[in-house]
Structure 1
């Protein structure tokens, strides 16, 4: 079967996006949600696959900047809105769109492509590796206590309307981006994403609420959340639904969590995806009663291997030759000498004997420092050719804090 790929004409966005919604089950979105994604869509970076007069595939790119180990914020193409109609599955439509996207990303000079996967099994064959995880939790606040650090009582908390506080919240978020790999620098318009709150998707919860933490006359943190009231014969058992929380210091962070724990008529906090090393794990008295579970989040793909590996720093000194396989982007194939430390890195072609052998998918998985090369080697996905090279490289790639994607796209 032959399909034709075309750049998205903004005048047919509704039809194009409608096919995406259909592929994901066909349930219409709230008008405010589709309006937001219309505004954020980069039509010049979006494509449709056409079979005659019918759109049978969709795919888009967002022009992101992503934080990497060492604090740099690096251009990264955010792969989004990918779908193939059920009538055209297993006919090469997805592969053709992935091919075009990665060629376009390379031409744009972006060293990385990233995505969140509806089904994680799909994208590995195109070189994407699961680079971050998110932790979800349901904390029993009737049986779990908090121990907060000194200075928590000095933090002032103030309830504000989410829309009124967006500037203050974004200022805090912006200061956090370079402190943790995997976070997205929010371009204009993206501050609307955390505020999206369609009534039809609240599942019985309140409208979105916001509390600011203040210390020394400045905003030092925020929490955005909703409350889902519930009762049984024994009394109230409402749930606090935490959307997002950021803070600039431990006292502000703890004050926000204590506020959530103490909300009247509630007995649990349900978190969305949080960092796997979120400090609240070390504030609670009983982590077993927090029902923590993990899931994959950001999938990363090195498009320009040398530039990507040079863009980040390395926790310990490293000097290794990587022999990389990459059948989908063959310009990455071959041997690369990576040398670097906490100050910077160089990654260049070499004919020297390899120290490690691995695929580009494994490099994507390890790139942000959340998955060790040693763990991948234990699964047979990285091979050591020089004794000691695996330990050296694995230590160097590790991030001091777990990488984390704060919201989807």
Structure 2
């Protein structure tokens, strides 16, 4: 309370290490109160970047949380660009509609700009919240429940040259991480794994299994070299006609099509199972074109990584473009007004430059549309058809839409 007896304003401040437990408890409660294992809680505590995490305190109690991991995200062209990984955003149910979320978003983006990071990224539990702060879905992912009893998998030449063997997950962690690291530059939206983050894939508390087996792992090898891996669990099941177990894929990565196919073929053929459940896979992954019946795979698409351009010029300069482009954008950005105005983008597959200009605009749009198209997974053309991009110079839309595209779909490999 204030000295005059009135309620004091909530205090938004950088998180201190001795405040973390209360901060984290408040976060868990805001997301439903699920209990985490000591191992998982301990890992998140180790990964927390305290000087980049915020808490809101009201009369000594934590009522708001937000954080920003120091990430590097792959963009078209292969560069790993500094990005703030926005995470742990919550407001206590007792403090809704008081402007706390807006104040945390304001502070975060000001901080990200001061840190010199041109991007902010997040995964959204409620997507409609973040649009007003300039975030847009820039990558998507595929989930599926594949009827492996009835769906056949065709594999490319060279698959039989790949050996698949069981391995304890922790013992082959370094080899698996080496595979992951080689894949990062190849696909936009992937996260350059910082020390400690590799342990996320090994979390295996009994409470999180939901009746499935402990975590299992296989590695794919060619000529003695590890060229891929898969981590999964098996959920046993028996029905009136016999076994109907489910394979639950956690992670799969291969350095080439044959390595990928060898791992998928292994998962399709596991004894006593009839379903392969996958989630969070790349939207253009090859298995979708190798199955005999895509309908029996029940594919579904959902949003994944949300992107926010904190510095339009630096962000657009950091990536490459699949054909030559020279276009002037008139950008609207109410929440980060330093991005407002006209920007001239020139570039190609070798590099780019994006600078402020007084030249006439070719396309008018908000920072959200630029964010959606940034990783190459969303075309500017349908955004224009939706009324969110205005073409001011004939031909500019097609030029920019093709240039912003990419050969592969962007993909977020894991949450944060």
Normalising by structure 2, report the TM-score: 0.97
Q: How does 1:1-400 map to 2 (within 5 A)?
A: 2-400=9-407
* Deviation, structure 1 residue 27: 2.2
Instruction: Assess if the C-alpha contact under 8 Å between 1:229 and 1:266 holds in 2.
Output: yes
Please state how far the C-alpha of 1:283 moved relative to its aligned partner. Answer: 1.2
Separation (CA, whole Å) in 2 of partners of 1:2 and 1:384: 46
Structure 1 residue 201: Cα displacement: 1.4
The answer for unaligned runs of 5 or more in structure 1 is: none
**Backbone CA RMSD of aligned residues:** 0.8
For the Cα contact (< 8 Å) 1:59–1:82, is it kept in 2? yes
Q: CA deviation at 1:384?
A: 0.5
SS in 1 for 2:186: coil
User: In structure 2, what is the Cα distance between the partners aligned to 1:249 and 1:294?
Assistant: 24
Q: CA offsets, 1:5-48, max 9 Å, x none?
A: 11111012111100001111122212111111111110110010
Shift of 1:52: 2.0
Stretches (4+) displaced over 6 A: none
Contact between 1:144 and 1:284, CA under 8 Å: does it hold in 2? yes
1:2 offset after TM fit, Å?
2.6
TM-score normalised to the size of structure 1? 0.99
Q: Describe the SS at the equivalent of 2:401.
A: helix
C-alpha contact 1:244 1:272 (8 A) present in aligned 2: no
Rounded Cα–Cα distance in structure 2 between residues aligned with 1:153 and 1:28: 44
What SS does the aligned partner of 2:65 have? Answer: strand
- CA distance, structure 2, for counterparts of residue 118 and residue 29 of structure 1: 18
Question: Alignment partner of 2:360: what SS?
Answer: coil
SS in 1 for 2:181: helix
Distance 1:375 1:207 in 2: 44
Q: Distance in 2 between matches of 1:335 and 1:405?
A: 30
Count of residue pairs the alignment pairs up: 409
1:344-379 deviation per Cα after TM superposition (whole angstroms, max 9, x unaligned): 000000011110000001111110000000011111
CA distance in 1, matches of 2:84, 2:171: 31
